[in-house]
Amino acid sequence: MAEIVAAFGVPHVPNFPAQVAREGPQSKVARLYAEVAGHLDAVSPDALLVFDSDHLNTFFFDNMPTFLVGVTDSIEGPNDQTPMPHYRVGGHAQLAAHVRASGLARGFDLSLSQDFSVDHSIMVPLHFLTPRMQIPIVPMFINGLCPPLPGARRCYALGEMVRAAVKEWPRNLRVAVLASGSFSLEIGGPKVPHDSIAGTPDQEWTRRVQHLLAHAQINELLEEATAARMQRAGNIGGELLNWIAMLGVIGERKPRFIEPEVEHGRCYGAWRWD
């Protein structure tokens, strides 16, 4: 039977690949990503289920899903001019279709796409974590950038549904979960600093989320991560919903590794129980 073997959370800043290429493997971002990649390699999953928020690249206001499962066996990206290599990664279409059907049977009206590319928010993490693109992914998109957003408890429940769906999958498969996103980030809105179009307006929230993650205080996190609170942390603050969905899959576990970059509004984490 299929099982959930680990979970990971990372940010996905578009500049990371170029920055790490320039600054080398001893730079902080490179080291933090290498730490997470080490945990991923150690559990060696057969498939990676990715919770991600598209940045108006894969989807737009002409067609904007709140929750969508990508059911395909091949995914290309990035599709948004991010300065990094172009990749093609396999999709685990059968598992994706099963998760979607399972969601529909359990009251989650999940949208579907069978033909799509992805932006930096998936390709930057894969560039560092699985650069050979050897692990097929199941992309699950959550609207984290275009309010109104789904609620934190709904996203957690989505994760719980995914856990149940994976357990029911009648084949041996080791599945890991990846959450992509920052906790405090403002792009192009009124909370940006002087002379810049991006900033991290809420270090306190980043600290608080990291603390709640480190101590597996899930209920507190779900209580505090209101739409208003996440928006105060920046117009990209809704990316936390991807982490919350990931927590729904694994339940109240403490991470084996978690490290914040508070000044940048983000965190890196790995959850294992092997």
Partner 1 sequence: MSVYAVNKLCRDAMRDPAFREALRRDPAAAITPLELTKDERSALLCGDVARLYEWGCHPFLLAYLPRWELFGLTIPLYSERIRKARDARDE
Tell me which residues touch partner 1 (CB under 8 A): 55-56, 60-62, 80-81, 145-146, 186-198, 228, 231-232, 235-236
Q: Which two tokens stand for residue 254?
A: 């403490």
Minimum distance from residue 81 beta carbon to partner 1 (Å): 7
Minimum distance from residue 109 beta carbon to partner 1 (Å): 24
For partner 1, which is the closer residue by CB, 100 or 191?
191
For partner 1, which is the closer residue by CB, 134 or 228?
228
For partner 1, which is the closer residue by CB, 132 or 194?
194
8 Å CB contact between 10 and 129: yes
Minimum distance from residue 191 beta carbon to partner 1 (Å): 7
Strand stretches in the chain, DSSP E: 2-10, 47-52, 67-70, 74-77, 87-90, 111-113, 137-142, 173-180, 186-187, 198-199, 257-261, 266-272
Minimum distance from residue 75 beta carbon to partner 1 (Å): 19
For partner 1, which is the closer residue by CB, 61 or 170?
61
| 130 CB-side CA count, 13 A | 25
Sequence-ordered list of residues with C-beta below 8 angstroms from that of 148, at least 6 positions apart, any chain: 227
